[in-house]
Structure 1
Amino acid sequence: MTSHLLLGIDTGGTYTDAVLFSEAAGVIAKAKALTTRHDLAVGIAGAVESVLEKARVPVTAISLVSLSTTLATNALVEGQGGRAGLVMIGFGPEDLKRDGLLEALGSDPVLFLPGGHNVHGGETPLDMSALDQALPKLANQVSSFAIAGYFAVRNPAHEKRVRERIREVSHLPVTCSHELSSKLGGPRRALTTLLNARLVSMIDRLIGSCEDFLKLRGIHVPMMVVRGDGALISAAEARLRPIETILSGPAASLVGARHLTGLENAVVSDIGGTTTDVAVLEKGRPRLDADGAVVGGFRTMVEAVAMRTYGLGGDSEVRINDRGLKAKIDLGPRRFLPLSLAAALHGDAVISVLEKQLRATHAGRHDGRLAVRTGLPDHLASGLQPQEQALYDRIGTVPVALADVLLSTPQKATLDRLVARGLVHISGITPSDAMHVLGRQAQWNAAAAHLGLEIAARMKDGSGQPIARSAEWLAQMIVERLTRQSSEVILQACLGEDGAGAIDPATSLAVDRALKREPGIVRFSIGLDRPLVGLGASAPVYYPDIAEMLGTDAAIPAEADVANAVGAVVGQVRASVTVFVTTPEEGIYIVNGAGASERFVDQEQAFGVARHRAQTMALETARANGAEEPAATMWEEIDAPEIEGGRKLIEARFIASASGRPRIAHH
C-alpha cells in the first residue's frame, strides 16, 4: 500500500494542505499548516512534515509530488504582482485601448517598436533602437518583461530577438506572447503575457521553496504543478508559464471533487480564505471556458476550467455601512488578516490594542483595524514612491493600530497601494472571527475575535442605535450575510452557465423573495437541478445552510478540506498544439506553428507536414510537461468555402492533443 505514495500539496491564501495518496487506498493521511507568505517553504514544510508524521511512512515511499496553488489567482484578484515592462512590436498606442490592456497595464511602462509580421508570417523590419535606449534605466524599474509581437503566433522571430536583447542587458525574466497562446488577437495576447510576467517571481518563489524543502528532506522525485484546466505540467514548465497556473487551485478542487464524491453532474463551490470559486461538473468533466479564463476582471487567453472566482471567503473584509436607518453588512472583495489569526501569531500586541480601543470613551474611525508587513523580501518592495516608503517604514513586523499609522486622510490611498503590492496586511474582523465568537471555529484566538466584534457592534446606525446588541449578535449577522452572499454568487455562476447572466441575483427582487421564502399571493421559489458540492476547510460549517437556501442537496465529502491537494495528484498531463496552413496567393501554401514557416506549392504536402508537426510537437510537449507514455489524438478544421464553383482554402488548422499520467520515481 505504501510503496508508491503520491504527495499532493495545495498552497492557498491562508492554508497550505498536504495529502499522501495511494492509487489503491485513496487518502492515507492529510495535514494543514498556515501559508507563510514571507517564506512559502515554512508553510509547505509544516504541512508535509505533519502528513509524514501522521502516515508514519519513510520519505522513500513517495514517488511523485504535485502542487496546486491559488496564489496566482489571488494575486490577480487582489491586484497584486510584480512590476512588468511591456514591449509591443508592430502595435501602436491605440491598441492599448482594446481588451482592457490599458487598464491592466496601470502605471507599468510600455515601449512600442516598429516590426511584426502579417497573417502569413511575412515580416515588417524590426527596429530595436528605442529598446536599446530605454533598457538600462528600465531594467532597474521592473521585475520582469512581457513581449507581444504583431502576428507573433504565425512567426515569433521578432519576439525571440527582442527577448535575447532584454536578457543580455537586464538578466530579468522575459515572457513572449507566442509561448502562451496560438490564438490571434494581439491586445488580449499582450494582456495575458503582461499578467504572466507579473506572476513570474511569485510562482518562481513558490516552486523554488517547494523544491528546496523536498531536496532538504531527501525527496528526489518528479514534481508537477496543476494547470488551470486541471491538467498537470512539470515544475520547470510552470516556472516559464505561471499564467497557466491561474485557476490551478480551483481546477484541482474540481478534479478532487469528482474523485471524492463520484458525482457526474454537480455544482462545485470551493470556499477559501480569499475567494469562492464556483464551477459546474457535466458528465464527470469540468466545463472549460472557450473564450479564456477571466480573473480579476480581465479575460485572458489561458484555457482553464469555466470557473467563476468571487472575492468572498472566510477572511473577507467585513464592510459595515452605518449610514442607513439600519446598518448593512457586505463582505469582500479584499482579504483581511483575521484578528483571531493576527492574535494567534502576535499575541498581546493585538489584544492590548483592541482592549485599549474598547475602553476608550470615544470610538475612533479606524478602531478594530491594524496594519502589519506581510514579510516579503526587501527587493520586492523596490520602486516605492517617497510617501509610500515613509508609510511602509512606519509599519513593522508586529501589528500596529491603523489610527497610529494613518496620520492624514490621503494616506489611506497610500496604504491601499501597499496592500495591493502585497507588502502590507490589514487586520480586521472577518467571517472567520464571527465563527470564533459563535464557537463554530476554534483554531485561532477567540478572545481577539470577541474584542473586534464588540468594538464593531458599538458603531451607531442612522437612528443613533448600536448596530448590534452584542458581539454574538453581530457574529450571527455576519454569518447570515456570508450564507446569502455565497448563495448569490453560486446563482450568478449557474445563471451565467445557463446563458441567463443578465439576471443579477444581488439586485433581483424576484430572486430576493425566492431566497427569503417570503409569503405572498405570488410564491417565488428557486432551486438547482443538481447537488451542491461544498469544498474548503469551512465547507461543513457554511454549506448545509447555503444548499438549503438554494433548494438543493449538499454533498460535502469527508476530505472537503483537502480536495485541491487530492486533485493535484489524481490528474493527467495534457498538451495541445495547433499548426496552421494559409494561402497568401493562388497555389502557395504556408505552414505556420510548431517550427519555422515553410512554403509549399502542393496542398496535400502542406497538410501532411502540418499534421506531422502538430502530432510530433504535442507528444514532445506532453513529455516535456512530465508525461510518462503520452498518447495523441488529432482533429482538423478546414475553412474552405465554395467560391465560383471551386473550393478556396482560407485556413486549415491541425490540432493534436497528447495526454498521459505523470512520470513517477521508481525507487
Structure 2
Amino acid sequence: MTPHLLLGIDTGGTYTDAVLFSEATGVVAKAKALTTRHDLAEGVSGAVETVLAKARVPVSAISLVSLSTTLATNALVEGQGGRAGLIMIGFGPEDLKRDGLQEALGSDPVLFLPGGHNVHGGETPLDMSALDETLPDLSSQVSSFAIAGYFAVRNPDHEKRVRDRIREVSHLPVTCSHELSSKLGGPRRALTTLLNARLVSMIDRLIGSCEDFLKARGIDVPMMVVRGDGALISAAEARLRPIETILSGPAASLVGARYLTGLDNAIVSDIGGTTTDVAVLEKGRPRLDAEGAVVGGFRTMVEAVAMRTYGLGGDSEVKINDRGLKARLDLGPRRFLPLSLAAALHGDAVLSVLEKQLRAPHAGRHDGRLAVRTGLPDHLASGLQPQEQALYGRIGMAPVALADLLVSTPQKATLDRLVARGLVHICGLTPSDAMHVLGRQAQWNGEAARLGLEIAARTKDGSGQPIAASVEALAQMIVDRLTRQSSEAILQACLSEDSAAIDPTASLAVDRALKREPGIVRFSISLDRPLVGLGASAPVYYPAIAEMLSTEAAIPEEADVANAVGAVVGQVRATVTVFVTTPEEGIFIVNGAGASERFVDQQEAFGVARRRAETMALESARTNGAEEPAAVLREEIDAPEVEGSRKLIEARFIASASGRPRIAHHAF
C-alpha cells in the first residue's frame, strides 16, 4: 500500500522545483527544471515528471498539490504586470498623491466616479454615466480593472455595482478593494487593488498551467497555493486574489526553513535568481508585518511575513561604473537572462554575437547584451505605443544584439518599457556567469559566461587601467560584490527589526567592520543567531556571507527546495473582521461579513457581530480548502469614559479559523 504523498511545487524566476513529501518520513524525492515563462506548464511538467521518476511512485499516491511562487513578488520588484484601469468611487484626483498611489499608477488610466459611503455605511449616490461613456474604449487598452470605493470596507455596494457593469461590458478580470482588505485607508487599499489587478493574468496563467498539466497526468486532487503569511489557500481563491501570493515563495521558504532546520530563532535568507528575501524567525514563528507587506517600494495592505525583499540574486544585472579612478561594481535590481543560460537555450545565436563583439577593435556601449522575447501570448502585449510595437516587432524568439537593435538613444527607454511589461528579457552578465567561470556552477554554457566576462574585462577605469587583471579576477570581484551586498541586505533587515536607524550601505563604521580593517580601534559586527541560507546557490554563497557577519551558517540539505517543502507543510488560515459603530446615541450599526444591520441594543449588536465573524471565518477557511477548521475570536473595543459613562466609538470582532488542507482519499 503506497502512503499518501504531498506534491509541493515552487515556481521561481529561474527554476521550478518539485518535491514529493510524506508526513511520516519527510522529503521522498526532489527535482528542478527551468521556469518557462512563455508556457509555465513546461517547467512544471519537467520538474514533476523528474520527481515522479526519481521516487518511482504512481500518480495515484499523490493526495494533495501545493504551489508556492515568487512570480508575483518578482513582477512587483521589477515593475512588471499587465496594464490595469483604476476606478475610484467617491475619491478625487488629490487622493492619488497619498500612499504612493500616483507613482504605482504610472501611465495606467484612472477614472473618478461620484459615490461612496461614510464610516457607518451610509451612501452618497453613485453616478456611473462617465463609466458607461468610456468603458468600451477603455476595455481595449487594459487587461484588467481595479475598483476602490470610499469606505467600501463598511459598505461594498457601489464597488459591486461598478464591478458587475464592467464585467457585463468588458468581460475582463475585475478586483474590488473590499475583497482584499477590511482596513481603512482608501488610497492604500486602492494601491493594493491596482497591484492585484496587474497580477491577475500572470497568476491565472500559472495556476491554469499547473492545473492543465496535472489533469492531463491524471493527478485529480485538491490544489493549494501559499499565501504571503505562510498560510494556504485554494487555487480558485488565489486566482481571484493573486496579491495575497506576493511573498508566497518567501513565506513558504520560512515555513520550510523552520521544518528543515528545527531552529526556533534564526535569520532566514533565501537567494533566488531575481531576489534575496530576509526574515527573522522568533520562537519558531515568522513575524507578520502589521502594517502590510512592502514589495517593490510600495506598502500594500496584504498581511504577510515581515520579509524584506531585495533586488539581488544569482541572475542580477552586473553594472560596471567606470567613471571613478577605481571601477565599482553593483548588482541588481533588474534580473537578466544569464549569458550562460541564454547560450544553453539558444546556442550559436548568442555565442556568435559575443565572439564577434570580442574580436571588434573598439568596444561598443551595448556589448555583451542581447534581447529576446519572453514568449508571452500576443494578447498580453495589448496597449503598446507605436514605437514600442515597432521595437517589439524587431525582437524575436532568438536573441538579437542590443547593438543591432538600438539605433537611437530614446529606443533604450522603449526597450526598458517592454522589459517592465514582461514581454522581453535582456541577456547579459550576471553572478551566475561569474560562478561558471570560477567552476562553482556548471549547469549552463560556460563558454558564453567566459566570453561575457572577457568583454566586460576590457572596460577601463578612470585611470585608463583595465578593471580586472584577468577574467577569473573579474568573476571573483562579482562574487565578492554579491557577498557584500547580501551582507548589507541581511544587516539592513535585522537593524530594522531592532528599530536601529543605521543604513549599513552608508555607514563607515559598518564598512570598517565588514572589511575587518585593522586599526587601534577595531570594529566588529555579528548576528545573535544562526543564518539559514536557502536557495539552489545557497551552499556556494552563504558560507562567505555568514563569515562576513560573524555568525554560524545553517544550510539544510534540502536548501534548494525549501520553498516547495514549505508549500506542503503549512495550514489553511482565514481571518474575518466585523465592526460595530454608533452613528448616534442608542443606535448600533454592524458592518462586515454581510449586509449592514441596525440595532438599538449594544449587546445584541455585539452578539450578531461575534456570530458573523466566527461563521464567516469558518466558511472562508473551508472555501480556502481547510478540512476541519477551528476558530478563535478576539475583540477590540474602543469605548473611552466620557463624563462618567463609557461611550462606544468602535468595536472590532476578529475571528481566525485554521486547519490542515483537504486531501484526496484514494481507494488503493
Report if TM-score (shorter chain) is over 0.5.
yes
**1:218-233 equivalence runs, <5 A:** 218-233=218-233
Determine the C-alpha separation between the residues in 1 that align with 2:128 and 2:371. 45
Matched residue SS, 2:540: helix
- Provide the rounded CA distance (Å) in 2 between the counterparts of 1:627 and 1:290: 24
Superposition pairs for residues 282-321 of structure 1, below 5 Å?
282-321=282-321
> Equivalents in 2 of 1:137, 1:315: separation in Å?
39
Following superposition, the deviation at residue 32 of structure 1 comes to 0.2
The residue aligned with 1:409 is 409
The alignment status of 1:66 with 2:66, answered yes or no, reads: yes
Which runs of structure 2 are paired with 1:76-475 in the superposition (5 Å)?
76-475=76-475
In the other structure, the counterpart of 1:17 is 17
Structure 1 residue 588 corresponds to structure 2 residue 565: no
For 2:126 and 2:189, how far apart are their aligned partners in 1? 20
Scaled by the length of structure 2, what TM-score is found? 0.99
**Paired residue secondary structure (1:578):** strand
Give deviations 1:56-99, integer Å, cap 9, x for gaps: 00000000000000000000000000000000000000001000
Following superposition, the deviation at residue 243 of structure 1 comes to: 0.2
Superposition CA RMSD, Å: 0.6
Asked if the contact 1:317/1:336 (under 8 Å) is kept, the reply is yes
1:51 is matched by which residue type in structure 2? V
Residue 543 (structure 2) pairs with residue 548 (structure 1):
no
AA in 2 matched with 1:323: R
Structure 2: tracts of 5 or more residues without a match: none
Alpha-carbon distance, 1:267 to partner: 0.2
Secondary structure of 1:594's aligned partner: coil
Which residue of the partner structure matches residue 578 of structure 2? 579
Contact 1:72–1:246 (8 Å) recurs in 2: yes
Aligned positions of 1:447-526 closer than 5 A? 447-500=447-500, 502-526=501-525
Measure, in 1, the Cα distance between the counterparts of 2:2 and 2:658. 26
The answer for unaligned runs of 5 or more in structure 1 is none
2:376 alignment partner, SS class: coil
Q: For 1:385-433, what per-residue CA distance to the aligned partner results, in whole angstroms no more than 9, with x for missing partners? A: 1111111111111011110000011111111111101111111110000
Q: Match for residue 639 of structure 1?
A: 638
CA distance in 1, matches of 2:369, 2:607: 65
Distance in 2, matches of 1:83 and 1:16, equals 26
What letter is aligned with 2:525? I
Percent of aligned pairs with the same amino acid: 90
For 2:102 and 2:336, the matched residues in 1 are separated by 28
The superposition leaves residues 597-636 of structure 1 with CA deviations (integer Å, 9 ceiling, x where unpaired) of 0000000000000000000000000000000000000110
SS of the counterpart of 1:155? coil
Give the whole-Å Cα distance in 2 for the aligned partners of 1:221 and 1:601: 49
* Cα displacement string for residues 218-246 of structure 1 (whole angstroms, at most 9, x for unaligned residues): 00000000000000000000000000000
Structure-2 residue corresponding to 1:39: 39
Q: Structure 1 residue 505: deviation in Å?
A: 0.6
Residue type matched to 2:433 in 1? D
2:605 paired residue number = 606
Change (3 A) 1:74 1:318: same
Secondary structure, aligned partner of 2:225: strand
Deviation at 1:382, TM superposition (A): 1.4
Runs in 1 of length 4+ with deviation above 2 angstroms? none
CA contact (8 A) 1:339 1:427 kept: yes
State whether residues 2 and 22 of structure 1, in contact with CA within 8 Å, keep that contact through their aligned partners in structure 2: no
| Separation of aligned partners in 1, 2:390 and 2:165 | 36
The alpha carbon displacement at 1:560 in A equals 0.1
Task: Name the CA distance, whole Å, in 1 between partners of 2:155 and 2:357.
Answer: 63
Shift of 1:2: 3.9
1:231–1:572 contact (8 Å) kept in structure 2: yes
Deviation sequence 1:321-353 (CA, Å, 0-9, x none): 011111100000000000000000001111111
Pairwise CA distance, 1:101: 0.4
Deviates more, 1:381-390 or 1:102-111: 381-390
Q: Kindly indicate whether the alpha-carbon contact (under 8 Å) linking 1:192 and 1:301 is maintained by their aligned counterparts in 2.
A: yes
Q: 1:627 maps to what in 2?
A: 626
Alpha-carbon offset, residue 580 of structure 1: 0.3
SS at match of 1:397: coil
Q: Structure 1: which amino acid aligns with 2:418?
A: L
The residue identity in structure 2 corresponding to 1:509 is L
Shift of residue 207 of structure 1? Answer: 0.2
Which secondary structure state, in structure 2, belongs to the residue aligned with residue 507 of structure 1?
Answer: coil
For 1:544 and 1:555, how far apart are their aligned partners in 2?
Answer: 9
User: What is the rounded CA distance, in whole Å, between the counterparts of 2:578 and 2:128 in structure 1?
Assistant: 29
Cα distance between partner residues in 2 of 1:364 and 1:123: 62
User: Deviation of residue 35 (structure 1)?
Assistant: 0.2
For 2:259 and 2:642, locate their aligned partners in 1 and report how far apart those are by CA, in whole Å. Answer: 51
User: Helix, strand or coil: the match of 1:270?
Assistant: strand
The TM-score with structure 1 as length reference comes to: 1.00
In the alignment, residue 495 of structure 1 is paired with which amino acid? L
- One-letter identity of the residue aligned with 1:29: A
Instruction: Provide the secondary structure at the position in 1 that maps to 2:658.
Output: strand
For 1:365 and 1:129, the matched residues in 2 are separated by: 52
Aligned length: 666
CA distance in 1, matches of 2:145, 2:275: 28
Report the residue type matching 1:194 in the other structure. L
